[in-house]
A and B are shown apart, each in its own frame.
Chain A
Amino acid sequence: MPQRSLPRIDEKKRFMLALIAPAVTVLIAFQILPILIGANASFRDWHLHDPKRTWIGFTNYAYVLRDNEFLTIVLPNTFGFMLASVGTSLILGLAIALLLNRKFAGRWLVQTIILLPLMVAPVIAAIMIRWMFNDQFGIVNVVLGVFGVPQIAWLTQKWTAFLAMLLTDVWLWTPWFALLLLAGLQSLPSEPFEAAQIDAASAWRTFRYITLPMLRPVIVVCVVIRAIDAFRTFDIVWTISGGGPARATEVFSIYAYVEAFQFLNFGRGSAAAVIGALIIVVFAMALYRLLNRWVEVSR
């Protein structure tokens, strides 16, 4: 047997490490390091204008976890926003993907129009929605005015502002769902569908018992990715309502941002961010496990 010196990393391991080396380097320098700096700040009395940065242990965490604002408004808002946005855009995206999976005249044009939101920067979409829902000059109130509805101050009431935010998010992300699901649909084998056709299965039953189960892995990945992103939504909420009126539509990213940049308490903002990160990590793991099990069972 050839002799191998023990401390040497074997050729396969070296290949593996070389493959991930660039990604690991960039990840450490530009994500892990900043996160550690933030985590360090969360244990300190770190005000942006105060250079002392005294170590105060878990005081910031205790503050955030006892903050009524965080527990009764921010968390329900964040989860509500996530569930409503992901649920609605999944259903709409699936419907559109099924629509686009058929052949009809002008499909290419329809597809391009539906993909329009992917080309618009979220911040511009949010500004546009704010403009359209403007209480005096916005097109929504003008159109409603034609039907005799009095002017509604959309963005200064909690639920209507929340609705405008949701609408923007759904508008922005439905095409993304539709695109991924359409790619999934087109990669499905055609035999089961032909068999279903021979058996004269109805469209609904074909969808329910063939399309949906075969599409489940794609749906799981889409839902997990989008759920994580919806949890940390920032720019849409910031542009449309800024968390207002009176912090009523604040989601978790806004809470951390406001603590850090408006109350200039970087330590407390970081603590809120760490708490949010822990919540979403645990939630995403659980969701991934749950959805995966659901896929396994359905097979």
Chain B
Amino acid sequence: MSAVDALPAIASRNRFFDALAPGGRRALFVLGIIGVCLLFAFPVFWLVLTSLRPGYAVYYVHRGTDFTLDNFHEVLSQEIVLRALWNSLAISTLATVLSLGVTVTSGYMLSRFRGPIPNLWFSAIYVFRCVPYVSWVLPLYFVTRALGIFDTYWGLLLPHVAVHICFFSWIMKGFFDGIDPSMEYAAMIDGCSRWGAFLRVALPAAIPGLTALAILCWLYTWNEFLFALILTAQKTPILTVVMAQFVHELGMEWHLMSATAVLSLGPALIVTIFGQKYVIRGLKI
């Protein structure tokens, strides 16, 4: 058996490290952690560094020592950036609330019932989850135009909710699968209605999962680009689109793009720092 063969090899490897240095394994562990951190932090570090450079020094990466906060000042004095910041905050928060509200019931239904209706709904979710964005983002533009909600909050919110329905229903089903339904049956025997059993017994038990999903949903909407690009115009600027435009249309203004990107990193950082604990605790698929 291969497992038995592997055993002496591991033992000798352990001896090898111990012979190399008494703290060899420990040092290797620390080095590994530092390496991984560097790898993940570097592009962000570079973004922050670029945002602190004056426009003329951006290109001279290796020699410039000029640093300035002017980029932030310039970016924040542009009205469109402030509006985009506010819109992105509002859209992300509203989309999170709406998506969770719509999918929590759908996930509960998928978890608690068997039969043709749940099966059909589950297959629909699975199939529509696979459809690539490019095949519906342009027709979506026609639809929001026809409904008269193009370039408004609703015109971006509802498509975002639609994107989340498939994935979230699936994950929510997993949350409710992990909760024992006998408590709900007990509540129903004691006179609770089906809605009462769902709202008062199942929903509170699913709160950790909901919190985790809310955080991921918020971050996803905050960072989303393609829908924001196609479904909004002048009236409702969105931060990701505004950022990308610094590099596309007005020439290559790397320093301003970076400054805006660093600003957009702020709220996301706050959400992640306070939320990671809940995400790890709540996300059990």
Contact status B132-A273, CB under 8 Å: yes
Q: What is the bound-complex CA distance between A252 and B132, given in angstroms?
A: 9
Contact status B36-A99, CB under 8 Å: yes
**Which of B134, B143, B284 neighbours the largest number of chain A CB atoms within 10 Å of its CB?**
B134
Interface residues of A in 116-152 (CB under 8 A from B): 116-125, 127-129, 131-132, 136-139, 142
Contact status B268-A119, CB under 8 Å: yes
> Chain B residues near A218 (CB, 8 Å)?
285
Contact status A127-B117, CB under 8 Å: no
Instruction: Given A22-B102, A26-B158, A30-B143, answer yes or no on A119-B109 (Cβ-Cβ < 8 Å).
Output: no
A-B contact count (CB 8 A): 259
> Chain B residues near A104 (CB, 8 Å)?
29, 33
Number of interface residues of A (CB under 8 A): 97
Contact status A117-B40, CB under 8 Å: yes
Contact status B135-A23, CB under 8 Å: no
Instruction: Given A187-B284, A281-B127, answer yes or no on A35-B240 (Cβ-Cβ < 8 Å).
Output: no
> Chain A residues near B43 (CB, 8 Å)?
117, 120, 125, 128-129, 132, 171
Interface residues of A in 32-51 (CB under 8 A from B): 32-35, 37-38, 41
Q: What is the bound-complex CA distance between A12 and B269, given in angstroms?
A: 44
The chain B residue with its CB closest to the CB of A35 is B136
Query: B281 contacts the other chain (Cβ, under 8 Å)?
Result: yes
Q: What is the bound-complex CA distance between A65 and B121, given in angstroms?
A: 31
Which of B50, B135, B143 has a CB less than 8 Å from the CB of A33? B143
The chain B residue with its CB closest to the CB of A235 is B225
Closest chain A CB from B279 CB (angstroms): 6
Contact status B46-A132, CB under 8 Å: yes
Stretch in contact with the other chain, from B2-10, B16-24, B65-73, B78-86: B2-10
Interface residues of A in 79-120 (CB under 8 A from B): 96, 99, 104, 110-120
Q: What is the bound-complex CA distance between A257 and B230, given in angstroms?
A: 12
> Chain A residues near B169 (CB, 8 Å)?
23
Q: What is the bound-complex CA distance between A123 and B260, given in angstroms?
A: 13
Query: A73 contacts the other chain (Cβ, under 8 Å)?
Result: no
Encoded as 1 (CB less than 8 Å from any B CB) or 0, chain A from 194 to 212 comes to 0000000010110011000
Instruction: Given A116-B44, A228-B130, answer yes or no on A276-B135 (Cβ-Cβ < 8 Å).
Output: yes
> Chain A residues near B279 (CB, 8 Å)?
179, 183
Closest chain A CB from B90 CB (angstroms): 17
Interface residues of B in 72-108 (CB under 8 A from A): 101-103, 105-106, 108
- The bracket for how many chain B residues form the interface is 35 or more
Q: What is the bound-complex CA distance between A251 and B113, given in angstroms?
A: 40
Q: What is the bound-complex CA distance between A13 and B116, given in angstroms?
A: 11
Closest chain A CB from B271 CB (angstroms): 8
> Chain B residues near A235 (CB, 8 Å)?
225-226
Contact status B195-A274, CB under 8 Å: no
Contact status B280-A186, CB under 8 Å: yes
> Chain B residues near A138 (CB, 8 Å)?
61
Closest chain A CB from B119 CB (angstroms): 12
Query: B161 contacts the other chain (Cβ, under 8 Å)?
Result: yes
A selection of 21 A-B contacts at a CB cut-off of 8 Å is A12-B194, A16-B117, A16-B118, A23-B102, A23-B106, A26-B165, A30-B143, A31-B162, A33-B139, A37-B142, A119-B269, A120-B44, A120-B268, A122-B225, A171-B43, A180-B283, A180-B285, A183-B281, A202-B7, A269-B134, A280-B130
Interface residues, chain B, with chain A CB atoms under 8 Å away: 3, 6-7, 10-11, 29, 32-33, 36-37, 39-41, 43-44, 46-47, 50, 58-62, 101-103, 105-106, 108-109, 113, 117-118, 121, 124, 126-140, 142-143, 158-159, 161-163, 165-167, 169, 174, 194-195, 198, 212, 219, 222-226, 240, 243-244, 247, 254, 257, 261, 264-265, 268-269, 271-273, 276, 279-285
Q: What are the 5 tightest A-B residue pairs by CB atom distance, in nearest-first order?
A: A273-B135, A34-B139, A232-B132, A119-B268, A30-B162
A sample of 12 more A-B contacts (CB under 8 A), given A116-B41, A132-B46, is: A19-B198, A27-B124, A33-B143, A35-B136, A112-B276, A117-B44, A122-B225, A123-B223, A123-B240, A171-B40, A184-B285, A204-B10
